[in-house]
Amino acid sequence: MTGVRLEPGDEAPDFTLPDADGNLVSLSSLRGQQVVVYFYPAAMTPGCTKEACDFTASLPDFGKAGMTVLGISPDAPAKLQKFRDKEHLTFPLLSDPDRAVHEAYGAYGEKMNYGKKTMGVIRSTFVVGADGKIENAYYGVKATGHVDRLRKELGV
């Protein structure tokens, strides 16, 4: 386990990752706006699909609040492209195959899966402020209902 646990006020680790089309997206290029960065285990699985579709359905509200949404998984860009196209997702999906960004955010490590300890992606969401600092950190979230909870807590 990496042991990293980001808290509000911490500097958000910067990253540059390829999106589903292979274009590079950097967190630092989004300075000046709030960014919701969420980590999910695998494209095209039921929970991840539900969460991604919930984010897509809520995008107009996040947009009105001046927030950008980025989804990050270990999946290759080609798989992300299929996922985006199949589910009509309208926000960037980023590929982190070596999980370096996951680890920098504490979103990869030991977790419980069906009562067993395993190593894997810890479903997590971070709200990064316009100043590049963590405003909210949510670890071990559930796919279903998470976006609604986030919207309520952020007033979006």
Domain CATH code at residue 143? 3.40.30.10
Tell whether 2 is covered by a domain. Answer: no
80 in any annotated domain: yes
Compute the chain's Rg from CA coordinates: 14
Q: Is residue 3 part of a domain?
A: no
Is 83 contained in some domain? yes
Instruction: Give the pLDDT of residue 117.
Output: 87
Set 6, 17, 36, 48: catalytic member: 48
What pLDDT is stored for residue 2 in this prediction? Answer: 46
Q: 107 in a domain, yes or no? A: yes
Q: Is 53 a catalytic residue?
A: no
In this structure, the chain runs to a length of 156
- Does 9 map to a domain? no
CB 76 within 8 A of CB 95: yes
How many whole angstroms separate alpha carbon 56 and alpha carbon 63?
Answer: 11
Render each residue's pLDDT in the chain as its tens digit; 156 residues: 447 899 999 999 999 999 999 999 999 999 999 999 999 999 999 999 999 999 999 999 999 999 999 999 999 999 999 999 999 999 999 999 999 999 999 999 988 777 888 889 999 999 999 999 999 999 999 999 999 999 999 999
Residue 127 lies in a domain: yes
Residue 23 lies in a domain: yes
pLDDT at res. 110:
86
Q: What is the number of domains present in the chain?
A: 1
CA distance 147 to 58: 8
- What is d(CA 142, CA 11) in angstroms, rounded to the nearest whole number? 25
Residue 148 is part of which domain span? Answer: 16-154
What b-and-e string marks burial along 41-50, b requiring 16 or more CB atoms within 10 Å of the CB?
bebeeeebbb
